[in-house]
Structure 1
Amino acid sequence: MKDLRRYLVLKYIQYLVLSSSNAVSTFLGLLGSLYTIILLQSAKVSSKSTTVLISSIAKADILVSVCVVSDMIIWTFDVRILSTAFTSALLQNLLTANAHVSCLLLSCIAFEAYLITFFPMESRHVRTVKNAKLTSRIVWILVTAECVIFQTEDFLKASSISAHISSHCTSVFDLSGRVAALLRSLSYFLGIFLRIVNVYFYYKIFFTGTKAHILEHY
């Protein structure tokens, strides 16, 4: 569990503290996710709601691995087929999906820690493996839908540049662009909101919760 806590700290720094990922944080994140996936296969790690969420965060880094491998292939072998505008947009959308999945699941873990600290008995029926799997599935569905919308916008944008499109296609392009712009705005404000909420949860846990525990002890 100590290793899993260190992994969570790494992920919080990578996605909720740093404004953007860099090469060092990405590399450490990939190593941490690989180690975590291996660690979670051990019989010593019990199946709990938190471990289910952590497992989903670690598996989300597969998207980052795909992007890293693709960039290495392009840089090493100069493969032009992978350097098209569509593929570049896809790789960027995969990175965005990874970040959004990780942020949402990390926030779920923070909320669970808050419930465990202040409402351990009352929240026991909520903090189940089944609910954790359902939460992970919902997060992945929502982020996948977002990624599809972004990729559709990029595809239509590339098509409009490379060829003349009909008025019907223009309407579809405008609608896709508006939806994508709305999603980007929502994602931006949601990211700020999640950072504030996570700070609040851990402030309550580490300060208020610790203080209450000390008072009860004495």
Structure 2
Amino acid sequence: MKDLRRYLVLKYIQYLVLSSSNAVSTFLGLLSSLYAIIILQSAKVSFKSTAVLISSLAKADILVSVSIVAEMVVQTFSVSISSPVFTSALLQNLLTANTHISCLLLSCVAFEAYLITFFPTDSRHFRTVKNARLTSRIIWILVTAECALFQADDLLKASSTSAPIHSRYALLFHVSSMTAALLRSLSYILGILLRIVNVYIYYKIFFSMDHQ
């Protein structure tokens, strides 16, 4: 569990402290996620709700791995891509999806830590493996839908620059563009709020333990 706590600290720094990811933090994050997955397979780790959330968090880095490997293949072997705009947008949206999934799951872990600290008995029926799996599944579904919307918007923008949009699709283009812009703004605001909430939660936990 000490190693998993260190893993969570690293992930908090990577996604909720650093303003943007860099090569070093990404590489360390990938290695730590692989290590966390190995640890979670051990019989010594009790598979409770927190472990479910951490497992889902570690698996989110698969999106980063896919993006990095795909980009390396394209650059190293000079692979000819029929739709470079589609590929470039997809790789970027995979990284965005990874960031959003990780931030939401880290916030769920923080909220669970808050419940364990201040409401250990009352919250026991909420902190179940079933609810943790359901929460993880909902997060993945919502972020996947977000990624699909971003991808569609990027493709529509690319097609509009290369050829004029038919009048039939003009409304679809405007609706998609406005929805994607709104969603990006909401994601940015939510990211700031999650940082504030996480800092507050761990501030409360730290001082409650300090006064015990």
- Taking structure 1 as the reference length, the TM-score comes to 0.95
Q: How do residues 82-101 of structure 1 correspond to structure 2 at under 5 angstroms?
A: 84-101=84-101
- Deviation digits for residues 122-142 of structure 1 (CA, Å, limit 9, x no counterpart): 100000000000000110111
Q: Distance in 2 between matches of 1:193 and 1:164?
A: 39
Number of matched residues?
212
Q: Which moved more, 1:73-82 or 1:132-141?
A: 73-82
- Deviation digits for residues 156-187 of structure 1 (CA, Å, limit 9, x no counterpart): 11121222321121110110000000000000
The match for 1:123 is 123
Q: Which moved more, 1:93-102 or 1:38-47?
A: 38-47
Note if contact 1:15-1:102 (Cα within 8 Å) is conserved in structure 2. yes
The match for 1:113 is 113
Secondary structure of the equivalent of 2:148? helix
Q: Distance in 2 between matches of 1:82 and 1:26?
A: 29
The match for 2:193 is 193
Secondary structure of the equivalent of 1:135? helix
The match for 2:3 is 3
Note if contact 1:74-1:83 (Cα within 8 Å) is conserved in structure 2. no
The match for 1:216 is none
Aligned residues: percent identity? Answer: 75
Amino acid at match of 1:156: L
Q: Distance in 1 between matches of 2:88 and 2:207?
A: 45
Q: 1:75, CA displacement in angstroms?
A: 2.1
Instruction: Give unmatched runs, 5+ long, in structure 2.
Output: none
**Alpha carbons of structure 1 residues 24 and 153: separation in structure 2 relative to 1, 3 Å:** same
Instruction: Give unmatched runs, 5+ long, in structure 1.
Output: 214-218
- Deviation digits for residues 11-44 of structure 1 (CA, Å, limit 9, x no counterpart): 0000000000000000000000111111111111
- The yes-or-no answer on 1:34 pairing with 2:7 is no
Note if contact 1:49-1:127 (Cα within 8 Å) is conserved in structure 2. yes
The match for 2:63 is 63
Secondary structure of the equivalent of 1:125? coil
Q: 1:207, CA displacement in angstroms?
A: 1.1
The match for 1:76 is 76
Note if contact 1:74-1:82 (Cα within 8 Å) is conserved in structure 2. no
- The yes-or-no answer on 1:13 pairing with 2:13 is yes
The match for 1:146 is 146
Amino acid at match of 2:195: R
Q: Distance in 2 between matches of 1:9 and 1:122?
A: 27
The match for 1:45 is 45
Amino acid at match of 2:94: L
Q: Which moved more, 1:150-159 or 1:54-63?
A: 150-159
Q: 1:193, CA displacement in angstroms?
A: 0.2
The match for 1:164 is 164
Q: Distance in 2 between matches of 1:14 and 1:129?
A: 26
Q: Distance in 2 between matches of 1:123 and 1:111?
A: 11
